[in-house]
Chain A
C-alpha cells in the first residue's frame, strides 16, 4: 500500500523532466505498441538498452523502484516458465527448425529456438518497465491531462483522468481507514485468515468505500457544475507546458524508432527475426 509509484512524481531538474507530458505520452504509447508487435530481437535489444539509458538520464534512484522491479522480475519469470510448460515446442513451431540442446522427456526438450523465443518474450516483458516508470515518475499528473487533451482526447475525458489521479490517494486513504476500523472490530483480512473470511471482510470494507465514493461523485459533479464545467468547446490548462525544441527532437527520435521497427517487418518478411535460417 505504501509503494505507490503513481504519486511518486518529484521535480527532477534534468532533460527528461523538462520534456512536455505530451512528448512522453506519445513516446510511451508509440514505443510500447511497436515493441508489442515486433519480434525482432535486435530491435527489442536496442529498445531495451535505449529505455534503460533513458532511465539513467531521468535521475530516478534505484531504491525508489527496487520493490516494483523485484515483483516484475518474479512475474516475468513465472510467465516464461508457464510459456515453457504449455508450449515447449512453440519456438520450434514458430521458427520452423530444431536445434536440440538437451533431449528431455516427451515434448519437454530444450531447443535453441524455444530459448530464443522466450528471450524475445523476456525482452518484450521488460523493455517497457523503464519507460513506464520514467513516464510516471517524471510527469506532473496535472500536466498529464493537458497532454492528453493536446493529443486529441476530449477535454472532458482528460479531466476525468486528472480527477482519477487526484483521487487515487484519497481512495487509498479511505480504504485504509475503513480497513483499520473493520480490523478493530475483529475482521481478518490478512493472509492469515481463511479465504471465505477474507472475501467476506473485503466486502465489508468495499461497501462503505464504494458508497461514500458514490456520494463524492455527486458532490464533485455539483461543484463542477456550479463552476460551469463543460459548457464550452475548449478549455485551457494551468499546467500546460509549451512544446520546445527538445520536444520536437525527442519526437523525431521516437518516430525514427517506430519507422525502423516497421521497416524491419518488411526486411524479415514478417514480425519474426529468424537467426536459424
Chain B
C-alpha cells in the first residue's frame, strides 16, 4: 500500500511537558486510521503539526514523500482537513468560501468541482446561504466539501461528527467513506465516538500522554487486551495506561 503520510519520531515539548512524545506511524492510500485517546493525549497537536501550523520539537513528517518543513506548499497542496474548531468564515456564502479556498488550493476546473461536491453533500440549495447561518450539520458538510475540494491524498478529520445527531453523523460518515474509497485517500480521523471508530477505521492508534500505546484493528484490538468493547479499552487507556503498557 502506498504511504501518503509518514510520521517519524515526532515530538512536541511545551516547557517540560511532552504533548507528543516521539511517535512514529504511517497512513496508506485508501486507509482510514483512527487517532484515539483521552483529552490532552496529543491528538490535536499531532494533527496541527501535520498541517504545518505547529512546529515539532523534533521528528519528521512526510506527505507523499514531501517533507512538511522543507517543501511545505507542495505537501499541503496534497492535504486538507476539517475540524470543529476551524469553521469557514461565517460572513461569506458557502459558494464564496469554496471559490476562495479552491483558488487557494489551485483546484483545476473549480466550478465543476464545486458543483460535484455540493451535489455529493446535498448542499446545492444552500450555496448562497451565509456559512454562519447554517445549522451544525450543514456547516460540517460545507467544511467537508472544502476539505475535499483539492482532491487531497491525505485528509485530516478532527472530530468531524462532533455535535451532530446520529442520523446526520451516519450520513456524513458514509459520504467520507465513499470519497476516500473512490479517490484512494488516506484519512487520519480523531473522534471520541467508539462506534464511529469501529464503523470507519481500518486501523487505530491509541495515544496516551503523547505516546502511541496501542495499535491495531479496532474490531480485534479489544479482545487482544482482554476487553469486551473498544469503549472499555478506551477507558482503560485513559485511566490505567500503565496496566496496558505492562500487558
Check if A and B associate.
no
- Interface residues of chain B, those whose CB is within 8 Å of chain A, are none
- Interface residues of chain A, those whose CB is within 8 Å of chain B, are none
